[in-house]
Structure 1
Amino acid sequence: MNVSLSSGAAGTPSNRILDAVAAQTDSDPVDLPPLYDTIDPEVLDSLVETMDNGAISFTYAGHEITVAHDGELAFSD
């Protein structure tokens, strides 16, 4: 599944990731494990907002998450 995390969307990149995973898993974001157990949300937000190219990948809540420099979010089981 691909979800746009462009700067026009509301919230920080880390919050948009939580919302996207919650929607994909039909869960409430508060029921998901804390993102900071996987990656520092403040560092993630800063990196995504300042990247010129490349991507960041990590595993969260059983999903492989990739955030590209253009804000595109991809995740898979």
Structure 2
Amino acid sequence: MSTLDKLAAQLGEDVMKAMDETGDDRLFMEISKTIGAASQTLEEAFLTDVRVRLAERKAREHLNRRLKQHRAGAGGA
């Protein structure tokens, strides 16, 4: 993993935690503007990381809902 990828992933993880704590679901956009002022390359890697994390989170939520519905319909089995 390159330095760029490591930094983007670490920052992405930290920003996701901060978004959860603060309830600010657009914080990543504010942070990306700050990054972009210094490095467009890091900004793009960061945004990709956060978008992938957000997509994975939505997919897991959907999966969990479907499993819950299935299990409720199957008598909890």
**Same fold by TM-score greater than 0.5:** no
Higher relative contact order (CA 8 A, sep 6+): 1
TM-score (normalised: structure 1)? 0.28
Which of the two has greater helix per residue?
2
TM-score by length of 2: 0.28
Choose between structure 1 and 2: higher strand proportion. 1
Larger radius of gyration: 2
